[in-house]
Chain A
């Protein structure tokens, strides 16, 4: 059952991810954004299969619910219509994709050849343990991320002023 679910989620994530970056049917950025949202939901399914329930929920909440909606918002705001027709330069594009896919094939071949302990230990605990760790051992990264978010927020507000730079 779990194996079947793994193959389903993995296939959906890979196919939707591929359609997001290179859709043969339409060059509409909104379609790409939707496929990316599907891929992100599938990755959250993989998180759940790895027993990271909290992360699975956070993934849907932040990525599919907020980040992708931001993308949709900007795509609709810019209404990029005329740019759909342009073609990428063929040779460079082919070379880059070939390189990237070769890298992916190399890493996955190495990963699959490795084998390993078949049954990892079961995870216990959930939000409570994570929260405790976040505010004790991980306090410094947590604070750094908080500062980063504030900096990003100030930057975004400044960038989106009408008379900016």
Chain B
């Protein structure tokens, strides 16, 4: 087998594997969301289908497929159809640069090890707004439209805060490549960026909530003001696509957080912070990464059900007048500390 052919074959394999794991995680994140919300609200939640409700996602999927796919008469057809397709893309594309394990055999467990990995991810995340804006425009009615306008302003604002928040991490590491970021965090709990740059982590996670349109920043679909915001006019499988898009971008964002702040696939016990030499260690690394991502996702769900929503002017105020200055101050402070250390 020639190296080129081998490269294409293994890349295709990795893409298929990553996409199917993502889809499975999306299905069970929805279940986790429902169970955790039930726990927070002192209910039981879905527990009828299969043992402890474990087959609930299957039932949900069948229901979404079998429902009538109703298209209201007043929509702008082309944009109305395009929007659900675009919503799924960012979550899938941003997985391409995230290292989800060290290596299996001779294959590195990352689809594309770019030297500008983080910039690529930010670019893809910023494309996530198109689906929502198009849904708002295509639906051609009041509430979706307001949701779309809100979403475009919110996403641009919090992108700035998010980019500023990660700069100290890259100043400490000295590289934009995500594999290097993980390598720098190996070798002890205190090496994790969440302990080295705690303010960065707080700013990043808050901006991540805003970029994924999750509470406390779910203004584009605030249900007690805008019915369901951008996806009001959607039903059946198109609505399910919006749902899956939201959860896949949430998982992608959790994967980013884990990579940047929680050491990615490393764990400073049992020698798991060095690239794997055996297959067992390689699989253990993937398992470590997936469990960290699952924990992050649970945190995001928990926050959603514990926090009230911000008002729109408060959201903008927080983004521009609190996070941006804090992010800049954080960069300056990090630079001073690095300079003092030599």
A57 touches B119 (CB 8 A): yes
Q: Indicate if A105 sits at the interface (CB-CB under 8 A).
A: no
* Contact digits for A12-24, partner B, Cβ 8 Å, 1 yes 0 no: 0000000000000
Which residues of the partner chain A approach B175 to less than 8 Å between Cβ atoms?
128
B116 touches A57 (CB 8 A): yes
| CB of A62, distance to nearest CB on chain B (Å) | 9
Chain B residue, CB-CB nearest to A68: B130
| 9-residue interface stretch from B152-160, B269-277, B287-295 | B152-160
A70 touches B123 (CB 8 A): no
Q: Indicate if A7 sits at the interface (CB-CB under 8 A).
A: no
Q: What's the dominant secondary structure at chain B's contact region?
A: helix
Q: Indicate if B122 sits at the interface (CB-CB under 8 A).
A: yes
Q: Per a CB cutoff under 8 Å, which of B126, B145, B176 touches A126?
A: B176
Expressed in whole angstroms, the Cα–Cα distance for A161 and B129 within the complex equals: 26
Expressed in whole angstroms, the Cα–Cα distance for A37 and B130 within the complex equals: 10
Chain B residue, CB-CB nearest to A64: B127
Which residues of the partner chain A approach B116 to less than 8 Å between Cβ atoms?
53-54, 56-57, 126-127
Q: Indicate if A73 sits at the interface (CB-CB under 8 A).
A: yes
B133 touches A61 (CB 8 A): no
B115 touches A69 (CB 8 A): no
Q: Per a CB cutoff under 8 Å, which of A26, A56, A76, A127 touches B148?
A: A76
| CB of B30, distance to nearest CB on chain A (Å) | 28
A70 touches B156 (CB 8 A): yes
Q: Indicate if B239 sits at the interface (CB-CB under 8 A).
A: no
Which residues of the partner chain B approach A61 to less than 8 Å between Cβ atoms?
119, 122-123, 126
Give the interface size class of chain B: 20 to 34
Q: Indicate if B264 sits at the interface (CB-CB under 8 A).
A: no
A66 touches B137 (CB 8 A): no
Expressed in whole angstroms, the Cα–Cα distance for A51 and B120 within the complex equals: 15
Which residues of the partner chain A approach B115 to less than 8 Å between Cβ atoms?
53, 126-127
Which residues of the partner chain B approach A53 to less than 8 Å between Cβ atoms?
114-116
| CB of A164, distance to nearest CB on chain B (Å) | 19
Expressed in whole angstroms, the Cα–Cα distance for A65 and B133 within the complex equals: 13
A57 touches B120 (CB 8 A): yes
Q: Indicate if B79 sits at the interface (CB-CB under 8 A).
A: yes
Chain A residue, CB-CB nearest to B86: A34
B126 touches A30 (CB 8 A): no
Q: Per a CB cutoff under 8 Å, which of A31, A34, A65, A128 touches B123?
A: A65
How many chain A residues touch B (CB < 8 A): the figure is 24
Q: Per a CB cutoff under 8 Å, which of B129, B134, B149 touches A77?
A: B149
B133 touches A72 (CB 8 A): yes
* Contact digits for B240-256, partner A, Cβ 8 Å, 1 yes 0 no: 00000000000000000
Which residues of the partner chain A approach B125 to less than 8 Å between Cβ atoms?
65
Q: Per a CB cutoff under 8 Å, which of A66, A70, A76 touches B149?
A: A76
A69 touches B129 (CB 8 A): yes
| CB of B313, distance to nearest CB on chain A (Å) | 15
Which residues of the partner chain A approach B130 to less than 8 Å between Cβ atoms?
34, 37, 69, 72
Report B99-145 residues with CB < 8 Å from chain A CB: 114-116, 119-120, 122-127, 129-130, 133-134, 136-137, 145
Q: Indicate if A8 sits at the interface (CB-CB under 8 A).
A: no
Report B292-322 residues with CB < 8 Å from chain A CB: none
Report A1-46 residues with CB < 8 Å from chain B CB: 26, 30-31, 34, 37
Expressed in whole angstroms, the Cα–Cα distance for A31 and B134 within the complex equals: 10
Expressed in whole angstroms, the Cα–Cα distance for A128 and B115 within the complex equals: 10
B123 touches A64 (CB 8 A): yes
Taking A76-B136, A127-B116 as contacts, is the C-beta distance between A57 and B123 under 8 angstroms? yes
Expressed in whole angstroms, the Cα–Cα distance for A61 and B79 within the complex equals: 23
B133 touches A69 (CB 8 A): yes
Which residues of the partner chain A approach B114 to less than 8 Å between Cβ atoms?
53
Q: Indicate if A60 sits at the interface (CB-CB under 8 A).
A: yes
Chain A residue, CB-CB nearest to B145: A76
Which residues of the partner chain A approach B156 to less than 8 Å between Cβ atoms?
66, 69-70, 73
Which residues of the partner chain A approach B134 to less than 8 Å between Cβ atoms?
34
A69 touches B155 (CB 8 A): yes
- Chosen A-B contacts, 12 in total, with CB atoms closer than 8 Å, are A31-B78, A58-B119, A60-B124, A60-B127, A66-B156, A69-B129, A69-B130, A72-B130, A72-B137, A73-B149, A76-B148, A128-B175
The 10 lowest CB-CB distance pairs between A and B, nearest first, are: A65-B126, A57-B119, A60-B123, A61-B123, A73-B152, A57-B116, A126-B115, A53-B116, A127-B176, A72-B133
